Structure 1
């Protein structure tokens, strides 16, 4: 025999309450099965708010709550159902869950409690009387109708059994000596939408802000004239962020999506960003989605996303300004003294002359060295830092047509002086029409 079988109505049958009860169970069962077919996690809170005043006096209570229990039972406090009796928290209760519970409908068990009769821990419904009118008759007087009120209650985790449909409400950390109950504010109750409680909607808003801010910063950096196509990492990261930003905007501004959808969006973004910031360039193995433990599900991936979105990608190539001085002298001050000790320096040159002439004449007619030694290098025709012509532009630098690239020799005493001073000077003799120079430091 099935508790959910369909009633076979036939003419002349003798009607009993059993028939209508069985029909109600069958309809509820079919509705529940259809709902579960639309998604595996069609249960949880739509809304949840604890009574903060009760926490101050040693109890846990609910001021507002609505949702579906795991067995499909709907509830709405206080709009439709009475709030459960607040749970008194003993002094020795630490790190334990408080659960919203309703006895499961079981065959052979009385589900309705009349007055004070019947075991309250086993009954799903409490009989009440309501004055109802016939909505098809405007002249009808209200008549008393016996209805069932859902017997919601709050239980400690150690008191809950398999005979109850359960939803986590709060995790109690401790009860202080002054009687105040401290709950874990990071706990995320099972919910069908991310705005049912504050935590997930706050995570969605935070991630949207971080993604948007990082994308805007990257876009601005790529708009600089010194940025070339060689900065492929910036382009790829901006592409990943631009793909994620509209999704997180929807989650943040229209937070009716399911927690699982937000979790999948977080995993997708974490996987893409691990290409740039992760160890081994591969994504971490985050916990699988657990609808009954959303805190453990979201905490690791949210922490990783915050870290990755806050990580500043160091640019491999840094352009150093070459300031023009009198008599063909140019001066460069390194923004980071460490560059002189660890970076490779490349001088890019372009002039309105045949390419081969520029490649051969420019190194011979240029003097590079420490600013305090440049006068002697030029006037006494002493050798400065050597320039070695490169066949192609280094991959880290932006490519510009017509430019030739020369690597600066960092050996010898002259470069040691540059390391100590953090600046470089150069003088270009001869005629180089329309000479355009760029100095680049490439981190090794």
Structure 2
């Protein structure tokens, strides 16, 4: 059954779990397709915090991870989902750099897609089954136990197979002088927000500084004794500056003719005013 096919509902039908499962698959597919059409940058890291103390002992552990996987799955740990199991780095093959991935198993149509809570390290499945005691949202005090499925995300590294997973690179580890690992601060993972990574924040600040310097230089009017041709060239620079700062506030329009692909739409979007977008994003940073 295709994910684009709807379940046919009728009066008196005998309900099966598949009716609700495939109805949910249909809605999830529609939502994912809508997201893909709305923006080419629909996945990446939102928040990442690595346990540096554990890394110094040879264990890769996360304190916080919030991201959107390429298949559209939303992951937020430990607030709403369990954190990935720690990864022992002591037995890895010696090498200079190792890339780390957050990976989520893709659904298997004719296979088991969940694992019991506490058994996640023994079997790679998309979901982890848990039991929650929840109140009735209307009655309030009437509680019942229900079974829920949480995303069972694992951490994979270079050398592990990524086939059958939706994955996102989150870090790169570099060996230090004592044979351990340190986080590579120059590695920039896919991100949904500029403020997610300090490297992007630094680039944004430098870009804003350059634009502000240009704005200050152009704020001085040309001397009255200036030749007419030089005055025209100077006024053209005013137009460029106004476009550079004004475009990010303009409403987004469709891509030009001959550029229907997501990559082309991305290029047009970025060209509309990178500097202005950085200014908006970094406005809330104290260092800006």
Match of 1:101 in 2: 103
| Secondary structure in structure 2 of the residue aligned to 1:201 | helix
Matched, 1:41 2:47: no
Deviation at 1:55, TM superposition (A): 3.2
Deviations 1:227-258 (A, max 9, x none): 554546655445434432456899xxxxxxxx
Which stretch has the larger CA shift, 52-61 or 99-108? Answer: 52-61
8 Å Cα contact 1:43/1:67 also seen in 2: yes
- For residue 137 of structure 1, give the secondary structure of its aligned residue in structure 2: coil
Counterpart for residue 195 of structure 2? 195
Moved more, 70-79 or 50-59: 50-59
Secondary structure class of the residue paired with 1:168:
strand
**Alignment map for 1:421-440 (pairs within 5 Å):** none
CA distance in 2, matches of 1:119, 1:178: 26
Aligned pair 1:264/2:284, yes or no? no
- Alignment partner of 1:166 is 2:164: no
Give the counterpart of 1:113 among 106, 112, 115. 115
Give the secondary-structure state (helix, strand or coil) at the position aligned to 1:113.
strand
Distance 1:84 1:108 in 2: 25
Q: Does the CA-based 8 Å contact 2:85-2:121 persist in structure 1?
A: no
- How many equivalent pairs are there? 259
Name the SS of the counterpart of 1:191 in structure 2: coil
Q: In the TM superposition, what whole-angstrom CA distance separates every residue of 1:126-185 from its partner, at most 9, and x where no partner exists?
A: 111111011111341x22111112101110032132200000101222244163x22332
State the partner residue of 2:77: 77
Q: Measure the CA separation in 2 of the matches of 1:226 and 1:61.
A: 67
Tell me, in whole angstroms, the C-alpha distance in 2 between the residues paired with 1:202 and 1:247. Answer: 22
Structure showing greater Rg: 1
In the alignment, the residues of structure 2 paired with residue 16 and residue 249 of structure 1 have an alpha-carbon distance, to the nearest angstrom, of: 51
How far apart, CA to CA, are the structure 1 residues paired with 2:275 and 2:218?
A: 20
Relative to the length of structure 2, the TM-score reads 0.76
> 1:54/1:261 Cα in 2 relative to 1: closer, same or farther (>3 Å)?
farther
For residues 109 and 13 of structure 1, the distance between their equivalents in structure 2, rounded to whole angstroms, comes to 27
- Residue 19 of structure 1 deviates from its aligned partner by 1.9
**Deviation of the 1:35 alpha carbon:** 1.5
**Residues 247/111 of structure 1: CA separation in 2 closer, same or farther (3 Å cut):** same
Q: Distance in 2 between matches of 1:28 and 1:161?
A: 23
Q: C-alpha distance in 2, partners of 1:238/1:120?
A: 64
Contact 1:91 1:174 in 2 (8 A): no
Contact 1:84 1:154 in 2 (8 A): yes
Q: What is the root-mean-square deviation in Å for CA atoms of aligned residues?
A: 3.3
Distance (whole Å) between structure 2 residues aligned to residue 200 and residue 14 of structure 1? 55
Structure 1 residues 402-421: aligned runs within 5 Å: none
Matching of residues 41-440 of structure 1 within 5 Å: 41-89=41-89, 90=92, 92-115=94-117, 120-140=122-142, 142-177=143-178, 179=180, 181-220=181-220, 222-223=221-222, 228-231=227-230, 235-237=235-237, 239-245=239-245, 263-264=270-271
Question: Structure 2: how far apart are the matches of 1:261 and 1:46?
Answer: 24
What TM-score, normalized to structure 1? 0.51
Structure 2 counterpart of 1:7: 7
Task: Determine whether 1:31 maps to 2:38.
Answer: no
**Corresponding residue number in structure 1 for 2:281:** none
Deviations 1:398-426 (A, max 9, x none): xxxxxxxxxxxxxxxxxxxxxxxxxxxxx
CA contact (8 A) 2:115 2:123 kept: no
